[in-house]
């Protein structure tokens, strides 16, 4: 009886421990925002139990001035030309996303994307920033700090 109780406690203790990856993922911000008078970038971490990847929903809100002057080509670029605009910087190294998927969210004046990164051991336990490098409005770099410093 005592052995079973002790065995159960050991199993419970082992199952409740988090791996370094789970701890790193748990420390990442759930929401971040960066912007200026030309555009605003928001990132919301998706909640998954997956420890092999990191996924954020990213919304970009261009300024009213740009929206009023944009051509149809401008909207097409935001729907299909965003693959190289996002990256994750961890420990001074840039990581390209595994996937950038435009999302038809039904919101006017907003572009939304599902941005997913494959986790590597090199990026875990380091401070991480999600970077949006604009190519179509002002060519500025917007940094979202994913780990509070």
How high does pLDDT run on average in the chain?
84
Give residue-wise pLDDT tens across range 108-139. 889 999 999 998 888 876 789 999 999 988 99
pLDDT score of 16: 60
pTM, rounded to two decimals: 0.80
Stretch (H or E) spanning 115: strand 111-118
Are 148 and 96 contacting, i.e. CB atoms less than 8 angstroms apart? no
Task: Tell me which residue of 31, 37, 51 sits closest to 145, measured CA to CA.
Answer: 31
Give the Cα separation of 69 and 23 in Å (integer).
45
Domains in the chain: boundaries: 2-145
CATH architecture of 2-145: Sandwich (2.60)
Q: What is the mean pLDDT of residues 89-100?
A: 93
What pLDDT, on a 0 to 100 scale, did the predictor assign at position 77? 79
Angle at 42 between CA 37 and CA 71, to 5 degrees: 55
Whether the pLDDT of residue 34 is over 90: the answer is yes
Q: What is the pLDDT of residue 39?
A: 94
- Contact indicator for 29, 148 with CB cutoff of 8 Å: yes
Helix (H, G, I), strand (E, B) or coil at 74: helix
């Amino acid at each position: 009886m005592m052995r079973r109780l002790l065995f159960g406690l050991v199993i419970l203790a082992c199952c409740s421990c988090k791996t370094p990856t789970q701890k790193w993922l748990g420390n990442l911000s759930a929401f971040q925002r960066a912007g200026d008078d030309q555009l605003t970038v928001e990132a919301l971490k998706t909640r998954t139990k997956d420890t092999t990847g990191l996924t954020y929903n990213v919304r970009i809100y261009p300024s009213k001035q740009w929206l009023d002057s944009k051509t149809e080509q401008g909207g097409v670029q935001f729907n299909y030309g965003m693959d190289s605009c996002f990256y994750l910087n961890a420990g001074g190294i840039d990581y390209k996303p595994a996937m950038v998927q435009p999302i038809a969210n039904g919101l006017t004046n907003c572009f939304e994307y599902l941005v997913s990164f494959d986790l590597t051991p090199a990026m875990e336990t380091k401070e991480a920033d999600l970077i949006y490098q604009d190519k179509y409005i002002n060519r500025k770099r917007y940094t979202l700090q994913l780990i509070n410093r």
